[in-house]
Structure 1
Amino acid sequence: MATFLYRLGRLAFRRRWYVAVLWAGVLACLGLSALRAPGATDSGFSMPGIESQKAFDLMGERFPGAAADGATARVVFVAPDGQKVTAAENKKVVEGAVEELGGGSQVAAVADPFTSKAVSEDGSTAYATVTYRVTADDLTDASRTALEKAVDGARESGLTMEAGGSATDSGGGPGGVAEIIGISVAAVVLLVTFGSLVAAGLPLLTAILGVAITMFTITTLAAAFGLSTSTGTLAMMLGLAVGIDYALFVVSRYREERAEGHAPEEAAGLAVGTAGSAVVFAGLTVVIALAGLAVVGVPMLTKMGLAASGAVVVAVLIALTMVPAFLGFWPGAVLSGAARKQGKQGKQGEQGEQSRQGEQGKTGTPGAKAARTGGKPRWSGKPRTARTARTASRNPETGPAAQDAQDNLGTRWARFVWRRPVPVLILGVLGLGALAVPMTSLQLGMPGDEAKPTSTSERRAYDDLARGFGPGFNGPLTIVVDARGADAKAAVTTIAEKIGGTKGVVSVAPPYFNKAADTAVFMATPSTSPTDERTKTLVKTIRDERPAVESATGASFEVTGTTALNIDIADKVQAALFPYLATIVGLAVILLLVVFRSVLVPLKAALGFLLSVLAALGAVVVVFQQGHGAGVFGVEQTGPIMSLMPIFLVGIVFGLAMDYEVFLVSRMREAHVHGETAEQSVISGFRHSARVVVAAALIMIAVFAGFIGESDSMIKMIGFGLAAAVLLDAFVVRMALVPAVLSLLGDRAWWLPRRLDRILPHVDVEGEALSHRSAAAMLPDQAREEPVPARL
């Protein structure tokens, strides 16, 4: 793989115009296609195989047309303190608003609150339900404006009037704010890391290109595959983060190869062959984890995973092709100012150096002497591999003093941890364990309008209805009775009375029969809110009573509705979370076993991933469920954690954790394979990779944290969870626990049974195959013709 990517990098460098035109053509074609594509539709939540979904399907079969997906709006009227909406003046205002609401061309019907008994017992609150002929996505601006105008008119009369429902969905926050925040922070981090405007701008440019291609693709396919706005937002979030990071790794390796004396084209090939190999592997782990979300069985989760996987694939392809192409356009611009200055000085002295080498060739160089005597050149020093020969040719002074001169903050930190592994390990594990404890009280659910900011009309309408009609009014249970083969009316009456007498049910609405009079639907209003644990218990109680009721009536019933559907989804996702986590951890062990050819290193990486993801979930529970620090992050209402969020977090964090593991530990393994001691290999890994890994982690944290400002509660929650997970995994697990564990293991960390070594395939992630090619390119001509002696 490394050799193939090396050739691909050189080809992209040489044929940079073709590569640039190709990607520009892809972007233009997808952009035009997106402009002509129909609008996206939100198919909502569904999960085949659960009772709520079966009941919805039964309703669609027995009530054709009644389960249409037309948009609805629930307009709430609240009288001033001490007054009632039934008072003459207030009633006149409400009736005028209802008449105005029914005047739109897309309105199918408006239920008058005074004739539909939609007035609270104390008379303070009433609501009118507006039903539209079209879906929420097909509502025109005129229809939405008419709804807003009617609401504003009632407010001017003194009534409090709010609107909720699918027709009033306000969507996410200001478009582009999160992306601008993430990109701005990333630009600062890149500038500090590289010390070059071009080097800092290149990863940003290629990442934006990848995100644009991804979003145009999603927009083009949205209508055909039912992709929602959240799907695109999550793909953008992940695509932007990994796009910057993958380009960062390639550009950083290119600068390193240039510093070692390689020509620009050769450096680009080596960068893609080495760092690019790690990018491919890291991207593959993310894709596998995200695509694996399909096994959970939630269509929306599957769409999110596949869309985000596509964003990662695009980011990898751009890092392997477009990045070296851009390096071909500006081969020296990405270097630091000091490196460019040194390069100019080197060119000025090259001619004089060649003259001196010519004089030495006549007298005393080992190659010249060997040519005169017919023998081989005599090299002094320790036995060397191709890599050490290459290093020696660049820098003959490779002793401890030279290594000390190359020390940076990463090497100093590695030495600090190496000398104190036990305290670092204990503090890190205890800290992550303490954060993970709240995860034991994790409650999953699907928050609705109650989770939106109080600045939205939907949230205020939700609160007004809860005060006027009770907290359970916002989440009624839908009971579907299948009375085929039984006395339908008697059976439905018996079932309604039984459910109405259940503790926790406030009221039961009159049943509605289909045309065949063999199926009925009625609503049961709980006394508690949709996200309350007591509501979940109530649903279970009603379902447990079903066998006795069915045997007495001969009819069967099922509980559904948004509340029951959300409860069923939460139960199924929670049941799938730990098996999925076990699958991901097992996959991590296998992949790292192949890459690092070690038994203990993959186990250490998997355990570290478990610690970081559990700690991140614990942090999410602390803020979004328990409410500690909720105001800091703009969380208006605490409650259960979004059902899909933990399992989606696990998939993404797995891939990102493997990113850092590969980029950091692969350099340690490379140094160990070439003869360095256990301590030296860890220090070498930190010397070359720590700064880049820290920069990559900071960029990802900035990108993910920017989405905390979104009003969509799921996006806000995922942004916080991912930012916390990257922070913990990169800085605690990879930068502290990894060197601490390797210090305790020593050389045993790289142990692999011989039989297993023969079975495992060889994956050259570090680019070992390129070391010999690179060494041959760096050594003098005569030395290149002869093999390097085993003993000198």
Structure 2
Amino acid sequence: MSSLARWCHRHRLAVVLVWAGLLLALGAGVGAAGSAFGNSPTSQDTDSAKATALLQRAADSAAGKNGRVVWQLSGGGRVTEPATEQAMTDTLKEIADAPGVASVSSPYTPVGEGQISEDGRTAYATVAFDQDVQDAQVDHVKDLATGPDSGSLHIALNGQAFTVNPEPNPIADVMGIALAFVVLLFAFRAVWVAALPVITAVVGVGTSAVAVILLSHVITLSDTTLTLGSLIGLGVGIDYALFIVNRHRTNLTAGMTVPESIARSLDTSGRAVLFAGLTVVVALLGMLTLNVGIINGMAVGAAVTVVLTVLAAVTLLPALLGMIGPRVLGRRERREPTGEARRRTSRRPGPWTRWAERVQARPRALALVALTVLVALALPTLSLRLGASDDGNLPTASTNRQAYDMIAEGFGPGFNGPLVLAVQAPTAADRAAEANLVTTLEKADGVASAAAAPMKEGQTVG
């Protein structure tokens, strides 16, 4: 590690330019290729994966995205009233004829009678899109679907096709980084000590973010991978860089030269950073044993982020330390004779040293207090309820959340989480068996309703 540190110090300008060039090159690649994030939430050895593979191999409408158009009448009206039925029937016909739409399951047909709630106020239609549907085509369907919306007729959309992911909030990221800088500045009272860990972490996370976006073209990565990577990357990046910077400051106050101190810091704290980073990477890649597509992608993306932040800490940081020289110390520390800061610290312990001495003086009592606080903080986990995130977790102003609430109100709990069955029915006998299956499922305990998706001529999977 010391050889790497000396090389980075001697070629510090080149190292900084290489990192800047790498970030710009990857950013240009993202600008040209864009992203290809997708979700594969199932394991390859489950029935869900087999059903999904069957739909995809069929390459028909069933393999495309689905969405719901939900409408509800206020004031006690019913969706089967002539005016409402005519308006929505015309709208659904326009949607069915729109480019990219494979089929529409209307509640105003004998097959779709179960898509109207018992009180008659709420109904929904399922829109199935082609496998290669474009975003502009989905947006056109959204405009068509919400056309009849009025004061008495409320229309909302949800489902995979109409899901709108929250936009990243750069202001929150900037505020988090600024807060980390302020905390470091308060703790060390030196601008460069606060700035260097933040700069190193931001460069590492920024480079990994664009790298992960490009990686989404190669493997399946969820769009939440960037969020997870930035959270982990900023945390470990600032932490790892601070290890090295703090060691470097200690070496300088002991009388070492800047090159010697950088080499010694990387040979000690740098080794610890490298080991810690590899441990985190191994732990993240351990999630691959679950064999769940979305988790695999998040694990790989987060591991890439940690690798690049560690690489920035052991290459970019030594170069930056070489550029600023002794200014990593505060003004008072630079003015003091060599070793005076260490002697002053040993004569007059700081607040953290005094706190450590108090803890050592009463270890049992303070350990009991700490344990009591931890237990109190952990008590809410006894009533913790776990579940998958869905449209019910979105803000109430979102059309997806409104459609979710309308379905739950009109059709009852559980209706927003249907079980989808993939059926291969190439012959008339198979289609008859599918109809019998639907009838059997409708009579099963705990099943509110069951319906078969309409199949076009020549379609064999539904």
**TM-score, normalised on structure 1?**
0.53
| Residues 15-414 of structure 1 aligned to structure 2 (within 5 Å) | 15-58=11-54, 64-66=58-60, 68-102=62-96, 104-115=98-109, 116-117=112-113, 118-134=115-131, 138-140=134-136, 143-156=137-150, 158-342=152-336, 394=339, 405-414=347-356
3-state DSSP class of the match of 2:414? helix
TM-superposed CA distance for 1:466, in Å, is 1.6
Tell me if the contact between 1:139 and 1:167 (Cα under 8 Å) persists in the aligned partners.
no
3-state DSSP class of the match of 1:447? coil
TM-superposed CA distance for 1:436, in Å, is 4.0
TM-superposed CA distance for 1:175, in Å, is 3.2
2:7 to 11, 19, 23: 11
Aligned counterpart, 2:417 = 475
Identity %: 34
3-state DSSP class of the match of 1:166? coil
For residues 430-485 of structure 1, give each alpha carbon's deviation from its aligned partner in whole angstroms, at most 9, with x where no partner exists.
4434544554565543131112221211011011112222223222223457899x
TM-superposed CA distance for 1:26, in Å, is 1.9
Distance 1:122 1:318, change over 3 A: same
Distance 1:240 1:509, change over 3 A: same
Aligned counterpart, 1:503 = 445
CA distance in 1 between partners of 2:235 and 2:308 (Å): 12
1:461 aligned to 2:455? no
Tell me if the contact between 2:61 and 2:131 (Cα under 8 Å) persists in the aligned partners.
no
TM-superposed CA distance for 1:110, in Å, is 3.5
TM-superposed CA distance for 1:397, in Å, is 10
CA distance in 2 between partners of 1:516 and 1:101 (Å): 21
Amino acid across the alignment from 2:129: Y
Q: Which has the higher contact order (CA 8 A, sep 6+)?
A: 2
Unaligned residue ranges in structure 1 (runs of 5+): 347-393, 522-792
Distance 1:462 1:420, change over 3 A: same
CA distance in 2 between partners of 1:166 and 1:516 (Å): 25
Tell me if the contact between 1:69 and 1:135 (Cα under 8 Å) persists in the aligned partners.
no
For residues 211-233 of structure 1, give each alpha carbon's deviation from its aligned partner in whole angstroms, at most 9, with x where no partner exists.
12101111112122122211122
Amino acid across the alignment from 2:291: G
- The higher radius of gyration belongs to 1
TM-superposed CA distance for 1:315, in Å, is 1.0
CA distance in 1 between partners of 2:431 and 2:320 (Å): 74
3-state DSSP class of the match of 1:85? coil
Distance 1:460 1:37, change over 3 A: same
Tell me if the contact between 2:44 and 2:50 (Cα under 8 Å) persists in the aligned partners.
yes
1:447 to 389, 396, 399: 389
TM-superposed CA distance for 1:103, in Å, is 5.7
Distance 1:520 1:240, change over 3 A: closer
Distance 1:495 1:169, change over 3 A: closer
TM-superposed CA distance for 1:405, in Å, is 2.3
For residues 339-386 of structure 1, give each alpha carbon's deviation from its aligned partner in whole angstroms, at most 9, with x where no partner exists.
23336xx7xxxxxxxxxxxxxxxxxxxxxxxxxxxxxxxxxxxxxxxx
Distance 1:222 1:182, change over 3 A: same
Aligned counterpart, 1:421 = 363
3-state DSSP class of the match of 1:126? strand
Please say which of residues 292-301 and 190-199 is displaced more in the overlay. Answer: 190-199
3-state DSSP class of the match of 1:291? helix
Amino acid across the alignment from 2:236: V
3-state DSSP class of the match of 1:446? coil
For residues 551-580 of structure 1, give each alpha carbon's deviation from its aligned partner in whole angstroms, at most 9, with x where no partner exists.
xxxxxxxxxxxxxxxxxxxxxxxxxxxxxx
3-state DSSP class of the match of 1:325? helix
Distance 1:188 1:395, change over 3 A: closer
Tell me if the contact between 2:422 and 2:461 (Cα under 8 Å) persists in the aligned partners.
yes
Distance 1:32 1:306, change over 3 A: same
Unaligned residue ranges in structure 2 (runs of 5+): none
Amino acid across the alignment from 1:8: L
Distance 1:17 1:448, change over 3 A: same
TM-superposed CA distance for 1:295, in Å, is 1.3
CA distance in 2 between partners of 1:300 and 1:41 (Å): 10
For residues 508-564 of structure 1, give each alpha carbon's deviation from its aligned partner in whole angstroms, at most 9, with x where no partner exists.
3358899999x986xxxxxxxxxxxxxxxxxxxxxxxxxxxxxxxxxxxxxxxxxxx
Tell me if the contact between 1:125 and 1:465 (Cα under 8 Å) persists in the aligned partners.
yes
CA distance in 2 between partners of 1:180 and 1:19 (Å): 26
Distance 1:210 1:287, change over 3 A: same
Distance 1:110 1:59, change over 3 A: closer
CA distance in 1 between partners of 2:295 and 2:410 (Å): 36
CA distance in 2 between partners of 1:319 and 1:511 (Å): 55
The structure with the greater share of residues assigned to helix is: 1
3-state DSSP class of the match of 1:73? strand
Please say which of residues 267-276 and 22-31 is displaced more in the overlay. Answer: 22-31
Tell me if the contact between 1:19 and 1:325 (Cα under 8 Å) persists in the aligned partners.
yes
CA distance in 1 between partners of 2:245 and 2:442 (Å): 67
CA distance in 2 between partners of 1:102 and 1:501 (Å): 31
Amino acid across the alignment from 1:49: D
CA distance in 2 between partners of 1:520 and 1:299 (Å): 24
Tell me if the contact between 2:55 and 2:461 (Cα under 8 Å) persists in the aligned partners.
no
Tell me if the contact between 2:61 and 2:128 (Cα under 8 Å) persists in the aligned partners.
no
Aligned counterpart, 1:370 = none
| Residues 698-717 of structure 1 aligned to structure 2 (within 5 Å) | none
CA distance in 1 between partners of 2:371 and 2:189 (Å): 35
TM-superposed CA distance for 1:28, in Å, is 2.6
TM-superposed CA distance for 1:189, in Å, is 0.9
CA distance in 1 between partners of 2:272 and 2:461 (Å): 59
Amino acid across the alignment from 1:407: P
CA distance in 1 between partners of 2:260 and 2:116 (Å): 78
| Residues 429-444 of structure 1 aligned to structure 2 (within 5 Å) | 429-436=371-378, 438-439=380-381, 443-444=385-386
Tell me if the contact between 1:512 and 1:520 (Cα under 8 Å) persists in the aligned partners.
no
TM-superposed CA distance for 1:275, in Å, is 1.5
CA distance in 2 between partners of 1:252 and 1:25 (Å): 28
3-state DSSP class of the match of 1:129? strand
Distance 1:325 1:59, change over 3 A: closer
